[in-house]
Structure 1
Protein backbone atom coordinates (compact mmCIF):
# COMPACT_ATOMS: atom_id res chain seq x y z
CA UNK A 1 0.00 0.00 0.00
CA UNK A 2 1.39 3.44 -0.92
CA UNK A 3 2.09 6.16 1.64
CA UNK A 4 -0.49 9.00 1.33
CA UNK A 5 2.19 11.49 2.42
CA UNK A 6 4.60 10.42 -0.35
CA UNK A 7 5.47 13.66 -2.13
CA UNK A 8 6.03 11.82 -5.41
CA UNK A 9 2.46 10.54 -5.47
CA UNK A 10 0.30 12.34 -8.03
CA UNK A 11 -2.81 13.88 -6.54
CA UNK A 12 -5.97 13.85 -8.65
CA UNK A 13 -6.34 17.10 -10.57
CA UNK A 14 -2.98 18.62 -9.57
CA UNK A 15 -1.41 18.29 -13.04
CA UNK A 16 -4.41 20.02 -14.64
CA UNK A 17 -4.35 22.70 -11.94
CA UNK A 18 -0.62 23.28 -12.56
CA UNK A 19 -1.24 23.64 -16.32
CA UNK A 20 -3.94 26.23 -15.67
CA UNK A 21 -1.63 28.15 -13.35
CA UNK A 22 1.04 28.21 -16.07
CA UNK A 23 -1.49 29.71 -18.47
CA UNK A 24 -2.63 32.38 -16.02
CA UNK A 25 0.70 33.35 -14.47
CA UNK A 26 1.12 36.69 -12.73
CA UNK A 27 3.34 39.45 -14.11
CA UNK A 28 5.90 38.68 -11.38
CA UNK A 29 5.92 34.96 -12.21
CA UNK A 30 6.40 35.81 -15.89
CA UNK A 31 9.34 38.11 -15.13
CA UNK A 32 11.09 35.67 -12.80
CA UNK A 33 10.50 32.73 -15.14
CA UNK A 34 12.36 34.71 -17.83
CA UNK A 35 15.43 34.60 -15.56
CA UNK A 36 15.07 30.99 -14.39
CA UNK A 37 14.09 29.12 -17.56
CA UNK A 38 16.50 27.22 -19.82
CA UNK A 39 19.18 26.72 -17.09
CA UNK A 40 20.14 30.42 -17.26
CA UNK A 41 20.96 30.82 -13.58
CA UNK A 42 24.41 29.19 -13.37
CA UNK A 43 23.11 26.05 -15.08
CA UNK A 44 20.39 25.23 -12.54
CA UNK A 45 17.21 23.87 -14.10
CA UNK A 46 13.83 25.07 -12.84
CA UNK A 47 10.26 24.00 -13.47
CA UNK A 48 7.31 26.29 -12.94
CA UNK A 49 4.03 25.38 -11.28
CA UNK A 50 5.37 21.98 -10.25
CA UNK A 51 3.02 19.61 -8.36
CA UNK A 52 4.55 18.26 -5.14
CA UNK A 53 2.19 16.09 -3.17
CA UNK A 54 -0.93 18.09 -2.38
CA UNK A 55 0.74 21.39 -3.31
CA UNK A 56 1.99 23.24 -6.38
CA UNK A 57 5.30 25.10 -6.15
CA UNK A 58 5.69 28.32 -8.15
CA UNK A 59 9.23 27.34 -9.15
CA UNK A 60 11.18 24.18 -8.34
CA UNK A 61 14.81 23.20 -8.79
CA UNK A 62 14.75 19.44 -8.22
CA UNK A 63 18.55 19.13 -8.25
CA UNK A 64 18.93 21.53 -5.31
CA UNK A 65 15.55 20.63 -3.76
CA UNK A 66 14.74 24.34 -3.66
CA UNK A 67 11.28 25.87 -4.08
CA UNK A 68 10.84 29.54 -4.97
CA UNK A 69 7.49 31.13 -4.07
CA UNK A 70 6.23 34.55 -5.10
CA UNK A 71 3.74 35.97 -2.63
CA UNK A 72 1.12 38.68 -2.89
CA UNK A 73 -0.47 40.49 0.03
CA UNK A 74 -2.87 37.57 0.66
CA UNK A 75 0.09 35.50 1.89
CA UNK A 76 0.96 37.77 4.83
CA UNK A 77 0.69 35.70 8.02
CA UNK A 78 -1.31 33.04 6.17
CA UNK A 79 -1.71 29.91 8.33
CA UNK A 80 -2.14 27.61 5.32
CA UNK A 81 1.21 28.87 3.95
CA UNK A 82 2.87 28.03 7.27
CA UNK A 83 1.41 24.51 7.19
CA UNK A 84 2.41 24.10 3.53
CA UNK A 85 5.97 25.29 4.19
CA UNK A 86 6.39 22.89 7.11
CA UNK A 87 5.07 19.94 5.06
CA UNK A 88 7.40 20.71 2.15
CA UNK A 89 10.36 21.24 4.51
CA UNK A 90 9.66 17.85 6.10
CA UNK A 91 9.58 16.35 2.60
CA UNK A 92 13.16 17.58 2.13
CA UNK A 93 12.62 20.84 0.23
CA UNK A 94 13.95 24.26 1.18
CA UNK A 95 11.70 27.22 0.42
CA UNK A 96 12.65 30.76 -0.49
CA UNK A 97 9.80 33.30 -0.58
CA UNK A 98 9.69 36.71 -2.24
CA UNK A 99 7.03 39.41 -2.24
CA UNK A 100 5.64 40.54 -5.61
CA UNK A 101 7.24 43.98 -5.31
CA UNK A 102 10.68 42.41 -4.78
CA UNK A 103 10.43 40.74 -8.19
CA UNK A 104 9.48 43.99 -9.95
CA UNK A 105 11.74 46.38 -8.03
CA UNK A 106 14.74 44.34 -6.85
CA UNK A 107 15.12 41.50 -9.35
CA UNK A 108 18.94 41.46 -9.29
CA UNK A 109 18.90 41.06 -5.49
CA UNK A 110 16.25 38.32 -5.82
CA UNK A 111 18.41 36.41 -8.31
CA UNK A 112 21.49 36.82 -6.11
CA UNK A 113 19.53 35.42 -3.13
CA UNK A 114 18.26 32.47 -5.20
CA UNK A 115 21.80 31.73 -6.36
CA UNK A 116 23.09 31.90 -2.77
CA UNK A 117 20.46 29.34 -1.72
CA UNK A 118 21.28 27.10 -4.70
CA UNK A 119 24.98 27.22 -3.85
CA UNK A 120 24.24 26.48 -0.17
CA UNK A 121 25.53 29.84 1.03
CA UNK A 122 22.21 30.19 2.86
CA UNK A 123 21.47 27.12 4.95
CA UNK A 124 19.79 28.30 8.15
CA UNK A 125 16.29 29.64 8.58
CA UNK A 126 16.25 33.36 7.93
CA UNK A 127 12.99 35.24 8.51
CA UNK A 128 14.32 38.42 6.88
CA UNK A 129 15.29 36.60 3.67
CA UNK A 130 12.23 34.35 4.13
CA UNK A 131 14.31 31.19 3.70
CA UNK A 132 13.01 27.99 5.26
CA UNK A 133 15.47 25.08 5.01
CA UNK A 134 14.57 21.46 4.47
CA UNK A 135 14.19 19.37 7.58
CA UNK A 136 16.63 16.52 7.27
CA UNK A 137 15.52 13.34 8.94
CA UNK A 138 18.15 11.04 10.28
CA UNK A 139 17.49 7.34 10.12
CA UNK A 140 18.32 4.72 12.70
CA UNK A 141 21.90 3.63 12.88
CA UNK A 142 22.44 0.13 11.58
CA UNK A 143 24.50 -2.21 13.67
Structure 2
Protein backbone atom coordinates (compact mmCIF):
# COMPACT_ATOMS: atom_id res chain seq x y z
CA UNK A 1 0.00 0.00 0.00
CA UNK A 2 1.35 3.39 -0.97
CA UNK A 3 0.96 6.27 1.51
CA UNK A 4 0.47 9.81 0.25
CA UNK A 5 -0.02 13.15 1.98
CA UNK A 6 -3.45 14.71 1.88
CA UNK A 7 -2.20 17.46 -0.46
CA UNK A 8 -1.05 14.83 -2.95
CA UNK A 9 -4.40 13.06 -2.79
CA UNK A 10 -6.28 16.29 -3.43
CA UNK A 11 -4.54 16.60 -6.78
CA UNK A 12 -6.04 13.28 -7.94
CA UNK A 13 -9.26 13.04 -5.93
CA UNK A 14 -11.88 15.24 -4.35
CA UNK A 15 -11.07 14.67 -0.67
CA UNK A 16 -13.54 16.24 1.74
CA UNK A 17 -13.32 15.88 5.49
CA UNK A 18 -16.43 14.44 7.12
CA UNK A 19 -18.75 17.05 8.59
CA UNK A 20 -19.58 16.86 12.26
CA UNK A 21 -22.97 15.46 13.22
CA UNK A 22 -25.39 17.54 15.26
CA UNK A 23 -24.48 15.58 18.37
CA UNK A 24 -20.75 16.13 17.75
CA UNK A 25 -21.29 19.88 17.30
CA UNK A 26 -23.32 20.07 20.51
CA UNK A 27 -20.77 17.97 22.39
CA UNK A 28 -17.96 20.26 21.25
CA UNK A 29 -19.91 23.32 22.46
CA UNK A 30 -20.51 21.70 25.85
CA UNK A 31 -16.80 20.83 26.10
CA UNK A 32 -15.84 24.42 25.26
CA UNK A 33 -18.13 25.68 28.01
CA UNK A 34 -16.70 23.19 30.48
CA UNK A 35 -13.07 24.17 29.80
CA UNK A 36 -13.50 27.21 32.04
CA UNK A 37 -16.39 26.11 34.27
CA UNK A 38 -16.42 29.12 36.62
CA UNK A 39 -16.34 31.75 33.87
CA UNK A 40 -19.36 34.05 34.22
CA UNK A 41 -21.32 34.25 30.98
CA UNK A 42 -24.24 36.45 30.04
CA UNK A 43 -27.59 34.91 29.23
CA UNK A 44 -29.86 36.16 26.45
CA UNK A 45 -32.51 38.61 27.61
CA UNK A 46 -36.05 37.22 27.63
CA UNK A 47 -35.92 35.81 24.12
CA UNK A 48 -39.45 34.42 24.26
CA UNK A 49 -40.93 37.93 24.02
CA UNK A 50 -39.13 38.89 20.82
CA UNK A 51 -40.67 38.40 17.37
CA UNK A 52 -38.92 35.56 15.46
CA UNK A 53 -37.05 37.90 13.08
CA UNK A 54 -35.75 39.99 15.97
CA UNK A 55 -34.99 36.90 18.06
CA UNK A 56 -32.72 35.52 15.34
CA UNK A 57 -30.53 38.64 15.52
CA UNK A 58 -30.00 38.60 19.30
CA UNK A 59 -26.39 38.47 20.44
CA UNK A 60 -24.69 39.30 23.72
CA UNK A 61 -20.98 39.71 24.48
CA UNK A 62 -19.53 36.96 26.68
CA UNK A 63 -22.43 34.60 26.17
CA UNK A 64 -22.46 30.84 25.56
CA UNK A 65 -22.98 31.71 21.89
CA UNK A 66 -19.80 33.79 21.79
CA UNK A 67 -17.89 30.87 23.36
CA UNK A 68 -19.06 28.65 20.49
CA UNK A 69 -18.24 31.27 17.85
CA UNK A 70 -14.72 31.80 19.24
CA UNK A 71 -13.95 28.18 18.35
CA UNK A 72 -12.26 27.83 14.94
CA UNK A 73 -13.51 24.25 14.54
CA UNK A 74 -17.17 25.22 14.89
CA UNK A 75 -16.68 28.21 12.58
CA UNK A 76 -15.04 25.94 9.99
CA UNK A 77 -18.03 23.60 10.30
CA UNK A 78 -20.33 26.49 9.39
CA UNK A 79 -21.26 28.47 12.52
CA UNK A 80 -21.85 31.88 10.95
CA UNK A 81 -21.92 34.18 13.98
CA UNK A 82 -22.72 34.41 17.66
CA UNK A 83 -26.30 35.46 16.92
CA UNK A 84 -29.10 33.29 18.24
CA UNK A 85 -30.56 32.49 14.81
CA UNK A 86 -27.23 31.27 13.42
CA UNK A 87 -26.63 29.15 16.51
CA UNK A 88 -30.13 27.67 16.43
CA UNK A 89 -29.70 26.71 12.78
CA UNK A 90 -26.16 25.36 13.21
CA UNK A 91 -26.86 23.35 16.36
CA UNK A 92 -30.41 22.50 15.21
CA UNK A 93 -32.03 23.89 18.35
CA UNK A 94 -35.77 24.39 18.67
CA UNK A 95 -37.18 27.58 20.19
CA UNK A 96 -37.88 25.67 23.40
CA UNK A 97 -34.37 24.23 23.60
CA UNK A 98 -32.75 27.61 22.99
CA UNK A 99 -35.01 29.21 25.57
CA UNK A 100 -34.29 26.59 28.23
CA UNK A 101 -30.52 26.64 27.67
CA UNK A 102 -29.85 30.33 27.10
CA UNK A 103 -32.64 32.66 28.29
CA UNK A 104 -32.25 35.04 31.24
CA UNK A 105 -35.74 34.31 32.59
CA UNK A 106 -34.60 30.84 33.63
CA UNK A 107 -30.99 31.52 34.56
CA UNK A 108 -30.70 35.18 35.56
CA UNK A 109 -28.48 37.74 33.82
CA UNK A 110 -25.28 35.74 34.30
CA UNK A 111 -24.41 32.16 35.10
CA UNK A 112 -21.30 30.03 35.28
CA UNK A 113 -20.19 28.41 32.07
CA UNK A 114 -20.57 24.92 33.55
CA UNK A 115 -24.21 25.65 34.36
CA UNK A 116 -24.89 26.69 30.77
CA UNK A 117 -23.15 23.49 29.64
CA UNK A 118 -25.41 21.41 31.88
CA UNK A 119 -28.55 23.19 30.64
CA UNK A 120 -27.45 22.65 27.05
CA UNK A 121 -26.76 18.98 27.73
CA UNK A 122 -30.11 18.57 29.52
CA UNK A 123 -32.14 20.14 26.75
CA UNK A 124 -30.46 18.39 23.82
CA UNK A 125 -30.03 14.84 25.09
CA UNK A 126 -33.76 14.25 24.85
CA UNK A 127 -34.31 13.72 28.55
CA UNK A 128 -33.52 16.98 30.33
CA UNK A 129 -36.20 19.62 30.04
CA UNK A 130 -39.25 17.43 29.38
CA UNK A 131 -39.17 15.75 32.79
CA UNK A 132 -38.65 19.16 34.40
CA UNK A 133 -41.69 20.52 32.57
CA UNK A 134 -43.62 17.40 33.54
CA UNK A 135 -42.64 17.84 37.18
CA UNK A 136 -43.88 21.43 37.14
CA UNK A 137 -47.14 20.33 35.54
CA UNK A 138 -47.64 17.66 38.20
CA UNK A 139 -46.84 20.17 40.94
CA UNK A 140 -49.40 22.58 39.49
CA UNK A 141 -51.99 19.83 39.35
CA UNK A 142 -51.24 18.84 42.94
CA UNK A 143 -51.67 22.45 44.04
CA UNK A 144 -54.99 22.98 42.22
CA UNK A 145 -56.60 19.59 42.84
CA UNK A 146 -57.64 20.33 46.45
CA UNK A 147 -59.33 23.53 45.25
CA UNK A 148 -61.33 21.63 42.65
CA UNK A 149 -62.31 18.99 45.18
CA UNK A 150 -63.47 21.72 47.57
CA UNK A 151 -65.49 23.49 44.86
CA UNK A 152 -67.30 20.40 43.64
CA UNK A 153 -68.04 18.66 46.93
Same fold judged by TM-score > 0.5? no
Bigger relative CO (Cα 8 Å, ≥ 6 apart):
2
Query: Of Structure 1 and Structure 2, which has the larger fraction of its residues in helix?
Result: 2
Query: Over alpha carbons, which structure has the higher Rg?
Result: 2
TM-score, with length taken from structure 1: 0.32
